[in-house]
Amino acid sequence: MVKILLTGGAGYIGSHTYLALVQAGFDVVIFDNFSNAKEDVPLRLQDLCGHTVDVVKGDVLDRRDIADVFNAHDIDGVVHFAAKKAVGESVEQPLDYIHTNVGGLLNLLAAMDDAGVRRIVFSSSATVYGDTDVQPIPEDHPRAYTSPYAYTKIAGEQILEQLSDDWAVGILRYFNPVGAHQSAMIGEDAEDIPNNLMPYIAKVATGQLEELSVFGDDYATPDGTGVRDYIHVEDLADGHVLSMKSLLETNQSHTVNLGTGEGSSVLDVVGAYAEACGQDLKYKIAPRRDGDVAVLTARPDKAKQELGFEAKRSLSDMCKSSWAWVSGQRRNVK
Ligand code: WQD
């Protein structure tokens, strides 16, 4: 059975990818330091997949930890999620972000090379495109960082591009991942005051937060609010399965956007979420947020051509799954 190592596999996207890989017939090991994941995620995954979940607690910054995993398991490929991902926080802690995201990747690649494991799917981000009017964005658009976080993703991609031909690398540029698993047993464990839109709206819907601040309604968009390409986290997980399958079958590398190609405004999301939770959601118009761009949407066709990937779930599905998760409507679907 093909065995895949998921670094950061107990996190939001990692845990959903765990389930998708298991469902696709892979054997999966989670490697996580639980700095940004709840300790009970493996137990919930166990309930969902009906078998013991292989978890190794460790840190990609610890060479011994990561070497031990490759000594203990016959790994065929790696999906690398373990990284810090908050743009704003990266501006305050640039060295920490570079150390964790770039240093951690270098540690992982050294351990993989020592173990003769040379198939890796890398969690990248649309933020590598910087601030651009080219919308939807194609993968050959130039890269330009606008934050230390974006720098670490560009640096990671460039390091991976230096590897010799006996490596096969899947670089996946996420747009805006949202939503939760259909069972509502796993989802995004957001911070108390979320930075991102949907987790914030979710906390307004549950009454944990008073009202949403809409960061600007004077953008050159249909309703003046920011437009983004939201993608359901289960679609995103499916994209990782297709990426790993392609690496293992073709030994060819790829770099693709993972998005829907559809743009939704902040007020579109507020409306869809209100529909999903059956209540009006309080919001006020606030000043623009520094660093925000008006529109950010993916050209999705390269992922379709190279991996056969196509996002299937709608904005309504995303909001309904998020609402089921935050309102505790757990359903143990296998
Ligand atoms: C979406 C829209 C905001 C919060 C970020 C990172 C990106 C990626 C995904 C890691 C924008 C508006 C938001 C709020 C609002 N992370 N908004 N009120 O900024 O597109 O992308 O998360 O890879 O790298 O940059 O996502 O959800 O923060 O914002 O009006 O309270 O919602 O202005 O238009 P973003 P977001």
- Tens-level pLDDT at each residue, the chain (334 residues): 999 999 999 999 999 999 999 999 999 999 999 999 999 999 999 999 999 999 999 999 999 999 999 999 999 999 999 999 999 999 999 999 999 999 999 999 999 999 999 999 999 999 999 999 999 999 999 999 999 999 999 999 999 999 999 999 999 999 999 999 999 999 999 888 999 999 999 999 999 999 999 999 999 999 999 999 999 999 999 999 999 999 999 999 999 999 999 999 999 999 999 999 999 999 999 999 988 999 999 999 999 999 999 999 999 999 999 999 999 987 766 5
What pLDDT does 333 receive?
61
What pLDDT does 334 receive?
53
- Which regions of 195-282 does DSSP assign to beta strands (E)? 212-215, 227-228, 230-232, 254-258, 264-265
Q: How far away, in angstroms, is 238 Cα from ligand 1 center?
A: 23
Residue nearest to atom 16 of ligand 1 (CA): 85
Q: Is 215 close to ligand 1, i.e. is its CB under 6 Å away?
A: yes
Supply angle C-alpha 181, 186, 192, rounded to 5.
Answer: 120
- C-alpha pair distances (Å), 57 with each of 2, 41, 50, 133, 136: 21, 13, 21, 42, 39
What pLDDT does 190 receive?
83
What pLDDT does 41 receive?
96
Q: How far away, in angstroms, is 56 Cα from ligand 1 center?
A: 32
What pLDDT does 192 receive?
87
Q: How far away, in angstroms, is 196 Cα from ligand 1 center?
A: 5
Q: Alpha carbon 7 to chain centroid distance? A: 13
Tell me if residue 200 is catalytic. Answer: no
Q: Are the beta carbons of 141 and 132 closer than 8 angstroms?
A: yes
Residue nearest to atom 24 of ligand 1 (CA): 127
Alpha-carbon gap, residue 237 to 21, rounded angstroms? 8
Q: Are the beta carbons of 62 and 35 closer than 8 angstroms?
A: no
Give me the amino acid identity at 67: A
Atom of ligand 1 nearest to the CA of 201: 31
Q: How far away, in angstroms, is 197 Cα from ligand 1 center?
A: 6
- Coil, strand or helix at 244: helix
pTM over 0.85: yes
Q: Which of 18, 97, 129, 149 is catalytic?
A: 149
Q: Are the beta carbons of 260 and 179 closer than 8 angstroms?
A: no
For the chain, the average pLDDT equals 96
